[in-house]
Amino acid sequence: MSEIENIAKQMIAKGRGILAADESTGTMTKRLSSINIESTSENRLKFREALFSAEGIKNYIGGVILYDETIKQKTSSGKTIPELIRSFGSIPGIKVDIGTKKLAGSPEEKITEGLDGLRERLAEYYKLGARFAKWRAVYNISEEYPSKLAIKSNAHALARYAALVQEAKMVPIVEPEVLMDGKHDIMKCYKVTDGVLKECYKELKLHNVNLKGTILKPNMILPGNKSKDKSNTLEIAKMTLKCIKENVPNEVPGIAFLSGGQTEIEATQNLNEINKINDTNFLLSFSYGRALQQSALKNWAKNIRDINNTQKIFNHRSKMNGLSTSAKWSMDLEKQLTV
Ligand code: 13P
């Protein structure tokens, strides 16, 4: 097995998932401001260091996605952040897209940027210790969107990114996120995601990407957050698994779902249900940002010196999500946390 194929498996095998701690400074500033914490680089590091040195990383987090600022920072004891993550048995990775812009030709939609100079940036990140990368494309659902143009141009960019990442000997996380904003029902989300994934795999193959050395990070199939459709967990799990089976080639070792605005428990419960009915060879895991960090961040905001309880909360979330990768999560276990 090649090195990248090996890394891809390690990131999500054995009950592990991925911690997405790659919020841009802008996003992190919004999160911190909402809890009345000043967004200085020191505070951003403090919170992230608390998570990266939590015991939960060892058993449940196979990879941590970092932002450009964080991968270059050092801990209070002088270790680099990638060294800290390694010392907890996890693999450091890096977000390499530089965000979204209006898509010329369909300005209500977004295109992800960051291909210019990417080869050189990847070489630098590799030297800093990154062994995988992330690029996120976003698609909005409405009556007329996403357009063919948005689907095609974002898939093209994702494939060019993935080919460059593999050339740099790293694993690309391919993240086409169909947003849950809107009034649409679950079927609409299914159809849009189906079209998006088909186009992504067409482009990835065209760009000769080795699918065995990739991880797909898709949205789950959900009704819109303003929808009247109240599909239950089993329906969500069935539709999500069907969409994966119909679109993801067998060579892909695994899938790490994003949480996309679900609550922490919803994200865990849905993944648990998906794994209950998983009859494929895919590893079905998580790559959560908000759904792993929200409660921990809230606690930290109350007292930024209370690292113990912040880590306790994060460890619990990590464990609950870890259990959901083998359908062993339950609401009873969920309630066992006492902080
Ligand atoms: P959420 O799990 O908060 O959606 O974030 C995942 C992510 O990395 C988005 O790019």
pLDDT in tens, 190-230: 999 999 999 999 999 999 999 999 999 999 999 999 999 99
pLDDT beyond 90 at 27:
yes
Cα(20) to centroid of ligand 1, in Å? 6
173 lines ligand 1 (CB under 6 A): no
The answer to whether the predicted template modeling score (pTM) of the entire model surpasses 0.95 is yes
Cα(289) to centroid of ligand 1, in Å? 4
pLDDT at 328: 98
Locus of tokens 């494309």: 137
Active site residue 242: no
How confident is the model over 32-78, as pLDDT tens digits? 999 999 999 999 999 999 999 999 999 999 999 999 999 999 998 99
CA–CA separation, 209 vs 172, rounded Å?
10
288 lines ligand 1 (CB under 6 A): yes
257 lines ligand 1 (CB under 6 A): no
289 lines ligand 1 (CB under 6 A): yes
Catalytic position from the list 9, 217, 312, 319: 217
**Site to substitute for ligand 1 among 257, 259, 286, most atoms within 8 A of C-beta:** 259
CA–CA separation, 35 vs 27, rounded Å?
13
CATH class, domain 3-334, is alpha beta
Positions of E strands within 104-257? 106-112, 132-139, 171-178, 215-216, 254-257
Cα(12) to centroid of ligand 1, in Å? 16
For residue 53, give every residue at least 6 positions away whose Cβ sits within 8 Å of its Cβ, in sequence order, or none.
Answer: 75, 84, 88, 311
Burial of 68 (0-12, 13-18, 19+ CB in 10 A): middle
pLDDT at 135: 99
329 lines ligand 1 (CB under 6 A): no
Mean pLDDT, the chain, as a whole number? 97
Cα(88) to centroid of ligand 1, in Å? 22
